[in-house]
Structure 1
Amino acid sequence: MMRLGVNVDHIATVREARRGKRPDPVAAAIVAEMAGADGIVCHLREDRRHIKDKDLFLLKEIVKTHLNLEMAATDEMVNLATEVAPDMVTLVPEKREEVTTEGGLDVASNYDWIEEVVRQLRNHNIVVSLFVDPDLEQIKAAARCQADYAEIHTGLYANADDLSAMNDELEKIRSMSMAASKLGLGVSAGHGLDYHNVRDILDIEQIEELNIGHAIVAKAVMVGMESAVREMLAIMRG
């Protein structure tokens, strides 16, 4: 059964709109777990625009399921990750000017450094995932550097302008999920998935986990976090 990781970044985004204390992403994580989420995801960006260090340390203390830390492959973040010791680290590309992560990590072009970061994290018994585009070169590089998982970037699929483009992107995700699995990688997927476009992704049997944040938080604004998570789980579990 495909697992659901709930990303709580945008709970923190709302909090930071007033630079206050509420809403609390840690409290949201507790509710998400109580609603049945299989894991909690957070992205500690270098500019700390939403999730803060304190949030991460608190999440490590309270998450009972599985904590997945998204982060850039920098010395600062590697040191922090080895201190916090989340269950999983997902390495993602990061630009200060972007609104959200715009694409996958270029593992092939930065292979030596990514391989070293993966090695350091795995030496601390942290499972490592690489957030990559559905591209065979990147999938092969992820496997070669001994990552445990490839998280397939679904953004182009989710934001496709028409049905034809959407289907083309879906086939890329499907074929690259198969390739990753054959190369010994675990497979997850995420970015831009919502209550509608997630349905076709559910048919890809190699995908073990979906990481979804913005759509769930947007729904939670209207119906509450518990209901928003339960609705996504109902879709995922048929």
Structure 2
Amino acid sequence: MYLGVNIDHIAVLREARKVADPDPLDALSICKRAGADQITIHLREDRRHMQDMDAKNIIALSTLPVNLECATEPSMIDIACELRPHRVTLVPEKREEVTTEGGLAVTGEQPKLKEAIKRLHAQEIEVSLFIDPTLEAVKASLDLGVEWIEFHTGKYANVYAMLYTNLSKTHHTIPEL
């Protein structure tokens, strides 16, 4: 089993404070000393957290493999191919989401995914897909020839919250499980 540490929230804090501190780059040595096997960052199209310079510096300076999460948009694949992280995890991205609310539609976006995967593989970048935990999505990912998959587990987390908290007894219930 391997430990990958997502350091996005350091950039979230920095961007919320509108200052240059904390710097996500500072997390690299801390993560390595703590036993991490991989660093994960998400470069969003809207750059609301990580910025291009963050991604460039982290990928260039990390002694651990870097997993770059990004959308399947050609402009994002261009950046990934230029930066050449160890791995790219393709994720769905909607600007109105606070956090990713589901996995990629791997059966519905095959041509777009195939092109992105082909371009990344041409740069010798491993590819992972962020998918819903369904057999159909796993099979489609296998057919696409990716090296890794990551499951979106939000629904499971929401069920736990509904079962083991008072959420179900309030008007703040989660409408869709």
TM-score by length of 1: 0.66
SS in 1 for 2:96: coil
1:60-75 to structure 2, matched below 5 A, reads 60-75=59-74
In structure 2, the partner of 1:156 is 155
Shift of 1:71: 0.2
Deviation by residue 1:130-164 (Cα, 9 ceiling, x = unmatched): 0000011111111111111111112212222226x
Separation in structure 1 between the aligned mates of residue 51 and residue 32 of structure 2, nearest angstrom: 20
SS in 2 for 1:106: coil
Separation in structure 2 between the aligned mates of residue 83 and residue 134 of structure 1, nearest angstrom: 31
Separation in structure 2 between the aligned mates of residue 56 and residue 72 of structure 1, nearest angstrom: 14
In structure 2, the partner of 1:82 is 81
Separation in structure 2 between the aligned mates of residue 32 and residue 158 of structure 1, nearest angstrom: 25
Structure 1: gaps spanning 5 or more residues: 164-238
**Alignment pair present for 1:21 and 2:20:** yes
Shift of 1:63: 1.1
Aligned-residue identity in percent: 48
What is the aligned residue count?
Answer: 162
Structure 2: gaps spanning 5 or more residues: 165-177
- State the one-letter code of the partner of 1:75: P
**Alignment pair present for 1:114 and 2:149:** no
- State the one-letter code of the partner of 1:51: M
- Decide whether the 8 Å contact of 1:30 with 1:62 is kept in 2: no
**Alignment pair present for 1:96 and 2:86:** no
Deviation by residue 1:77-117 (Cα, 9 ceiling, x = unmatched): 11101110000000000000000111100010011110111
Shift of 1:128: 0.1
TM-score by length of 2: 0.89
SS in 1 for 2:127: strand
Separation in structure 1 between the aligned mates of residue 127 and residue 95 of structure 2, nearest angstrom: 23
Separation in structure 1 between the aligned mates of residue 53 and residue 128 of structure 2, nearest angstrom: 23
1:1-238 to structure 2, matched below 5 A, reads 2-160=1-159, 161-162=162-163
- State the one-letter code of the partner of 1:107: V
Separation in structure 1 between the aligned mates of residue 114 and residue 56 of structure 2, nearest angstrom: 26
Separation in structure 2 between the aligned mates of residue 88 and residue 46 of structure 1, nearest angstrom: 18
Separation in structure 2 between the aligned mates of residue 51 and residue 146 of structure 1, nearest angstrom: 28
Shift of 1:17: 1.0
SS in 1 for 2:21: coil
- Decide whether the 8 Å contact of 1:129 with 1:147 is kept in 2: yes
Separation in structure 2 between the aligned mates of residue 115 and residue 12 of structure 1, nearest angstrom: 31
Separation in structure 2 between the aligned mates of residue 25 and residue 155 of structure 1, nearest angstrom: 25
Shift of 1:29: 2.4
SS in 2 for 1:159: helix
Q: Comparing both chains, which one has the higher relative contact order based on Cα–Cα distances under 8 Å and sequence gaps of 6 or more?
A: 1
SS in 1 for 2:115: helix
SS in 1 for 2:3: strand
Shift of 1:30: 2.2
